[in-house]
Amino acid sequence: MLLIRCPYCEEERPELEFRNAGEAHIARPTNIAAESEDDFEKFFFIRSNPKGVIYERWRHIHGCARFFNAVRDTVTDKFVMTYKAGEPRPAKLPGASK
Amino acid sequence: MAKAAAKTKAADASAAVERRPALAGRAVSAPGVKVEILPPAERISLRAPEASVAALSKALGVTLPSKPKTSAAKGGRTALWLGPDEWLVIDDAGNDPLADCAKVSALHSAVGISHRNVAISVAGPAAAVTVNSGCPQDLSLEAFPVGAASRTILGKSEIVLLRTAEDTFRVECWRSFSDYVFTLLSEAASDAAN
């Protein structure tokens, strides 16, 4: 079983307590009514779906119930790091090879 | 505050009505562990920002813990840390914590959930093994010491787990899940000795 570090519980917890909540750092447009249809489509539907490092929102739903952000490798399924919701995308990942 | 007053009145009015808690009195004994339904208790779900914690702690008579996975107990009342601004307060002594919170003017949300939850005691040398049959958390004494509390899962059901002694756990689950949780723990208890 994967162990995921919850930044609010400050320890690693079993994956069964967590739920994925989609890609992170997708800013909602400030004036959504003025968005063109193409821009809205990009915001609403289009996700990066990379092979490799992805930034995701996760929720410790059966624990502290908080949303937080996690950096995960989609190839190895390894969690690189996690950080609290609202914090900026980390500039440097620990143990990053590239 | 009006809610608390209404609750007291409702309790008076229904005093003559028989209360039948879910699974009351059920118990299963296996070698090394005993699983039993605990008597009803008063409970609230409390949410409050950091600025209100001191006032609420004073009103409740128990200091709300601020560290993850911890609890604090005093005078039959236990406060369990569930999240950064969320606590479960359990009162076994029959005093209503909701009424105590109603006196606090600091911002908070207290909801009475006494009848929503059912508490199950898992006690004995094999208690940790029994709970671990459905709960993926590390329940060794180093990782989950006496007094540790956490919301987690047991099989398919969400529970709140509190270690009250080295070999005793209190499992709090929702009333409608209690049959499932109790049966799972009973089956686990008979397996735990093997």
In this complex, the residue of A1, A11, A62 whose CB is nearest that of residue B151 is A62
Q: Give A-chain residues touching B69 at CB under 8 angstroms.
A: 9, 11
Cβ-defined contact of A66 to B82 (cutoff 8 Å): no
Residues B84-99 pLDDT 10s: 999 999 999 999 999 9
Q: Name the domain boundary from B50, B83, B114.
A: B114
- Looking at B92, B114, B136, the residue that finishes a domain is B114
Do A64 and B151 count as a contact with CB atoms less than 8 A apart? yes
- pLDDT bucket at B2, cuts 50 / 70 / 90: very low
Domain coverage including residue A36: 3-84
Angle among Cα B177, B9, B44 to the nearest 5 degrees reads: 40
Q: Are residues B70 and B59 in the same domain?
A: yes
Taking any CB pair shorter than 8 Å as contact, residues of chain B touching chain A are: 68-69, 82-84, 86, 136-137, 150-153, 158
**Average pLDDT of the residues in A59-88:** 95
B48: CATH? 3.30.70.1520
pLDDT band at B16 (very low <50, low <70, confident <90, very high): confident
B14 located within any domain: no
Which pLDDT band holds residue B14 (cuts at 50, 70, 90)? low
| Closest to B119 (Cα-Cα) out of B177, B49, B66 | B177
pLDDT for res B15: 61
In this prediction, residue B1 carries a pLDDT of: 44
Domain limit, last residue, from B114, B137, B158 = B114
| Domain assignment of residue B12, yes or no | no
State the pLDDT confidence band at B19, using cuts at 50, 70 and 90.
confident
Average pLDDT over residues B53-75: 96
Domain count, chain A: 1
Answer yes or no: do B33 and B47 share one domain.
no
pLDDT digits (tens, 9 = 90+) for B23-47: 988 999 999 999 999 999 999 999 9
Q: How many CB atoms lie within 10 A of CB B74?
A: 11
CA distance A78 to A94: 13
Are B157 and B67 members of one domain? no
Q: Which residue has the higher pLDDT, A69 or B5?
A: A69
Domain that holds residue B142: 24-38+117-194
- Structural domain count, chain B: 2
Report if residue B134 sits inside a domain. yes
Give the pLDDT band (50/70/90) at residue B179.
very high
Q: What is the CATH number of the domain that holds A66?
A: 3.30.2270.10
Lowest mean pLDDT among A93-97, B16-20, B135-139, B140-144: A93-97
Could you tell me if B154 and B82 lie in one domain? no
Q: Is the pLDDT of residue A53 over 80?
A: yes
pLDDT, tens digit (0-9, with 9 covering 90-100), for B116-171: 999 999 999 999 999 999 999 999 999 999 999 999 999 999 999 999 999 999 99
Q: What is the CATH number of the domain that holds B123?
A: 3.30.1360.120
Contact A62 B158 (CB under 8 A): yes
- Higher per-residue pLDDT: B19 or B55: B55
Distance CA B129, CA B125 (A): 9
DSSP bridge pairs for B43: B90
Question: Is B144 inside any structural domain?
Answer: yes
Q: Does the residue A48 lie in any domain?
A: yes
Average confidence score pLDDT of chain B? 91
Q: Where are the beta strands (DSSP E) in B55-99?
A: 71-74, 77-83, 86-91
